[in-house]
């Protein structure tokens, strides 16, 4: 157990729908990062939050949004889902704004299947 | 911009043989380097990291990696692999001042008995 909790582990939904993925960071970590892993794109950085504020944005589609709440858990919202959104979505956390001193800790991921 | 290249998408080896998984990075500033392992149907686990100090870093399960600044490499090695090492291995880099960890495409390590 890495200490980063992601729910749900699996999600199957239809095209056009909206889903919410949840992440609780490791105790004491203030940053949360979202990554998408697909066979053709590999691991792609989506977005980072630090202590409730958006800190960095990567290849995140406009149909996707995220937020970090006061208790530091984060949610990734995916809307108007397309078949191509099927992927593993990982959350990671770190103590500070970057990787020092412990690196990033990843959750076990949410596997999203859009049918 | 930072980037990572893992030179081999798949590496098959026999059990108890040595292995090297190659990783090269591109960055114009100082970097932090990581190797993550992903076992089948699991998330990514940190294997080892280089943040500063000694250029040779080791993991608890026998892997080691050496940061070579002149070669811009961070190759992962193990002198004798086990069946349980079968997994996908990801090299990752973050440049000082950058906001995100950038991953290579991964190397699938397959151990044959």
The nearest CA of chain A is from the CA of B105 a distance in Å of 6
pLDDT per position as a tens digit, B77-89: 999 999 999 999 9
CB of A33 less than 8 A from some CB of B? yes
Residue B23 at interface with chain A, using a CB cutoff of 8 Å: no
Cβ count within 10 A of residue B108: 15
- The per-residue pLDDT for A74 is 98
Average pLDDT of the residues of chain B:
91
Q: Does B105 touch chain A (CB under 8 A)?
A: yes
User: Is the Cβ of B51 closer than 8 Å to some Cβ of chain A?
Assistant: yes
The bridge status of strand B107-112 relative to strand B10-14 is: parallel
pLDDT tens, position by position, B4-15: 999 999 999 999
Nearest CA in chain B to A56: B99
What is the reported pLDDT for B9? 94
> In the prediction, which pLDDT does A98 show?
82
Length of chain B: 113
A106 DSSP β-pair partners? A92
Which residue in the set B45, B90, B99 is minimally distant from A56, CB to CB?
B99
Give B102's contacts in chain A (Cβ within 8 Å).
Answer: 45
**Extended strands (E) in chain B:** 3-6, 10-14, 19-21, 23-26, 31-38, 44-50, 56-58, 64-68, 73-78, 87-95, 102-103, 107-112
Whole-number Å distance between alpha carbons of B95 and A100: 12
Rounded mean pLDDT, B93-105: 84
For B90, nearest residue in chain A (alpha carbons): A43
Does A104 contact B34 at a Cβ distance shorter than 8 Å?
yes
Query: What Cα–Cα distance (Å) separates residue B8 from each residue in A24, A98, B75?
Result: 34, 28, 11
- Residue B28 banded pLDDT, cuts 50, 70, 90: confident
Q: What is the DSSP letter of B83?
A: G
Of all residues in chain A, the one with the smallest CA distance to B40 is A108
Q: B108 — contact with chain A (CB < 8 Å)?
A: no
Ordered per-residue pLDDT tens for chain A, 115 residues: 789 999 999 999 999 999 999 999 999 999 999 999 998 888 999 999 999 999 999 989 999 999 999 999 999 999 999 999 999 999 999 998 887 777 789 999 999 999 9
Unique residue bearing structure tokens 């980063």: A4
Pick the residue from chain B with its C-alpha nearest to A100: B51
């Amino acid at each position: 157990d890495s200490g980063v909790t992601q729910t749900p582990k699996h999600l199957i939904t239809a095209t056009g729908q909206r889903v919410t993925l949840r992440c609780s960071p490791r105790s004491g970590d203030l940053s949360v990062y979202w990554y998408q892993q697909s066979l053709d794109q590999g691991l792609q950085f989506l977005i980072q939050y630090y202590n409730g504020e958006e800190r960095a944005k990567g290849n995140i589609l406009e149909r996707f949004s995220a937020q970090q709440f006061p208790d530091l858990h984060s949610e990734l919202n995916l809307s108007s889902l397309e078949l191509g959104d099927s992927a593993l979505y990982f959350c990671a956390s770190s103590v500070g704004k970057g990787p020092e001193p412990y690196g990033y800790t990843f959750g076990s991921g949410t596997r999203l299947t859009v049918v | 911009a930072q980037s990572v290249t893992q030179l081999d998408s798949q590496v098959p080896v026999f059990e108890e043989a040595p292995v090297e998984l190659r990783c090269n990075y591109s960055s114009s500033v100082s970097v932090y380097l990581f190797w993550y392992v992903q076992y089948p149907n699991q998330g990514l686990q940190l294997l080892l990291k280089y943040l500063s100090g000694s250029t040779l870093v080791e993991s608890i399960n026998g892997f080691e990696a050496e940061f070579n600044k002149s070669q811009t490499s961070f190759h992962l090695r193990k002198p004798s692999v086990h069946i349980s090492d079968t997994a996908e291995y990801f090299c990752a880099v973050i440049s000082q001042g950058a906001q995100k960890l950038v991953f290579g495409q991964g190397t699938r390590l397959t151990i044959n008995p």
